Structure 1
Amino acid sequence: MLSIYLLIAKSYFMLQLNVKNETSRLRAVVLGSAINNGPTPKADEAYDPKSLEHILAGTYPVEADMVKEMEAFNQVFQKYDVKVFRPKMIENYNQIFTRDIGFVIDDIFIKANILPDRERELDAIQYIIDQIDPAKVVRPPEEVHIEGGDVMLWNDYIFIGTYKGSDYKDYITARTNMQGVNYIKALFPNRKVKEFDLVKSKIEARDNALHLDCCFQPVGKDKGIIYKSGFREESDYVFLVKLFGKENLFHITREEMYDMNSNVFSIAENVVVSEQKFTRLNNWLRDNGFIVEEIPYAEIAKQEGLLRCSTLPLIRD
């Protein structure tokens, strides 16, 4: 009898995952960490062209600034009474971008097959995964590449960024393959899965959509932020224009894409966390009825990631 009670108690305290879109009220999230972030990487250790650019220029962000920026983000979560989990610290290691290492669709936690060098990041959130029903945790087969920045939930839809070029294996900036798209289609047969072929560059960050959230993201109930030239096929861009309506989309420039304007984060349908220097975007959001929580995040942006990249939502209403 005692074992039954223990089982019931354990299930009661387990995390009841629920993520169906990008903007419903957030209740629990994994926020990355910049503490003990390690030294500036060498040029040959860069995972993306923007980090490389700042490494070579001597402007790569320092730990103290990034810790300050992430704490500002954490304070916004506290303001809105969001349960925040942080990864366990790995000494001298970058653990900022939790969106890369896993993601939730409905009530399923999907571990990403990330770059092998980053496997330790998954170990650092294992204590959180241990609070999830094991039947709700999956790891795709080795040939399936998919990262959370490429996966976007929009009610009936699952949008997935990918790269369809025959030279996929030559691009460290190509993180989700068509096997990843097909894996999600098989796992969620009742959802409409739509993939988008993204522009990739190993050398120019202004022409590199590292993930889908680098060139598109929904906000609110029917609006979105979009960068037309982030899509290799114009038909993919046209699909989103037809779905959302051109009047509901905020079109960002090449430079705004580089600054990561589409990588904001929604706490609720009417609350968006944004970088304080995104003046044009933030004004548009406010004009459309959003509460904009502005914080400094420009140093972290130098690593080709911003607010959405730093978060792994676990529970939304």
Structure 2
Amino acid sequence: MFPREQAAWEAERENLAAVLGRYGVEVLRPRLLTEVEKAAGGSSGYANFFVRDPWFTVGAHVIEGGLQFPHRRHEVLTSRELLVERVMPSAAAYVALPSPAVPQAGEKNGAGPFLEGGDVLVLDKHVFVGESGMATNPAGREWLAKYLRPHGFTVTVLPMPPHVLHLDCAFGLVREGLLITCPDRLPAGPPAPLRDWEQIEVTEDEAAAMATNGLPIDSSTYITDPEFERVGKALQARGITVEYLYFTVSRSFGGAFRCSTQPLLRVN
């Protein structure tokens, strides 16, 4: 419908893939939804903007989540062939959240359970899960905690204001000892394991534009948009190499670099 914007959007994704490739990251690309899959969304419609949300990894566990908005509930299908190809022959576990319940009369999206990758940040054996009411809900978070507990992981819930979609729209990990945070979106502050970390703070307006949604490639390299040069300079002052990429169209859909990627395997 908007060919100029579409071309710019695709170029943003190609440029991101090229930068990741330069740093030795193997980039896998999800396929498009088929016409049958689009039709399955019925009157709710369909979407396939960001690969961060329908599945995620915690250590050696690959987990398909459940998306709250009905038009997003088939997004995982575009990645599933890649997951089957890469995960099934490996030693990693491959599990899925129970399917969300059908909304009953008077319910907007139903009771869930809902669990979205944008709400999940992992630091060693700590798993931080954001809850604002827009995406992950208590049922999804409790399922994750129950599944991961025997494997030594601790799940900590981070409450957020109701207008914040995901946790990575409120704060992000840069490297050990350094994070970016929006205090207005994380009223209780960073979780206990991160309280002593140095914090680069951003405003509500900067967070709404996706200032916390950059992508650390490794402990010394970070991708962000030139829109956030102030944040980039603060990172550079702390020894971080900043790769700037224009991501204007992607950000207009409510996501940026972290939303556009989902690590399947991290290697040192």
Higher helix share: 1
Sort the Cα spacing of 1:138 and 1:238 in 2 relative to 1 into closer, same or farther, 3 A: closer
Deviation at 1:282, TM superposition (A): 0.3
2:97 maps to 140
Mapped partners of 1:178, 1:120: distance in 2 = 21
Contact 1:87-1:95 at 8 Å conserved across structures: no
Contact 1:214-1:263 at 8 Å conserved across structures: yes
Contact 1:222-1:244 at 8 Å conserved across structures: no
Deviations 1:247-266 (A, max 9, x none): x1001011111111100011
Work out the number of aligned pairs and report it: 238
Q: Classify the secondary structure of the residue corresponding to 1:158.
A: strand
Contact 2:158-2:191 at 8 Å conserved across structures: no
2:122 maps to 153
- Map residues 221-240 of structure 1 onto 2, 5 A cutoff: 221-231=176-186, 234=187, 236-237=188-189, 239=191
Contact 1:223-1:244 at 8 Å conserved across structures: no
2:135 maps to 175
Deviations 1:35-67 (A, max 9, x none): xxxx47xxxxxxxxxxxxxxxxxxxx9211111
Q: Classify the secondary structure of the residue corresponding to 1:279.
A: helix
Q: Classify the secondary structure of the residue corresponding to 2:74.
A: helix
Deviation at 1:96, TM superposition (A): 2.7
Report the residue type matching 1:254 in the other structure. E
Q: Classify the secondary structure of the residue corresponding to 1:110.
A: strand
User: Is 1:215 equivalent to 2:149 in the alignment?
Assistant: no
- Give the TM-score normalised by structure 2: 0.83
Deviation at 1:288, TM superposition (A): 0.6
Report the residue type matching 2:16 in the other structure. F
Deviation at 1:100, TM superposition (A): 1.1
2:155 maps to 193
User: Is 1:301 equivalent to 2:251 in the alignment?
Assistant: yes
Mapped partners of 2:62, 2:194: distance in 1 = 27
Deviation at 1:117, TM superposition (A): 2.2
Q: CA RMSD in A?
A: 2.0
Of the structure 1 ranges 303-312 and 117-126, higher mean CA displacement relative to structure 2 is found in 117-126
Q: Classify the secondary structure of the residue corresponding to 1:229.
A: coil
Report the residue type matching 1:80 in the other structure. Y
Contact 2:131-2:157 at 8 Å conserved across structures: yes
Report the residue type matching 1:195 in the other structure. V
1:276 maps to 226
Deviation at 1:245, TM superposition (A): 2.5
Sort the Cα spacing of 1:239 and 1:80 in 2 relative to 1 into closer, same or farther, 3 A: closer
Mapped partners of 1:258, 1:126: distance in 2 = 30
2:200 maps to 250
Q: Classify the secondary structure of the residue corresponding to 1:125.
A: helix
- Map residues 109-148 of structure 1 onto 2, 5 A cutoff: 109-114=62-67, 115-131=69-85, 132-133=87-88, 136-141=93-98, 142=100, 143-148=112-117
Contact 2:47-2:71 at 8 Å conserved across structures: no
Q: Choose from 228, 249, 261 the match for 2:211.
A: 261
Report the residue type matching 1:69 in the other structure. E
Report the residue type matching 1:162 in the other structure. E
Deviation at 1:94, TM superposition (A): 4.4
1:87 maps to 30
Query: After the TM superposition, which segments of 4 or more aligned residues of structure 1 sit over 6 Å from their partners?
Result: none
Mapped partners of 1:239, 1:98: distance in 2 = 26
- Quote the sequence identity (%): 26
Q: Classify the secondary structure of the residue corresponding to 1:209.
A: coil
Deviation at 1:91, TM superposition (A): 6.1
Sort the Cα spacing of 1:219 and 1:111 in 2 relative to 1 into closer, same or farther, 3 A: same
Report the residue type matching 1:89 in the other structure. L
Gaps of 5+ in 1: 1-38, 41-60, 169-173, 201-207
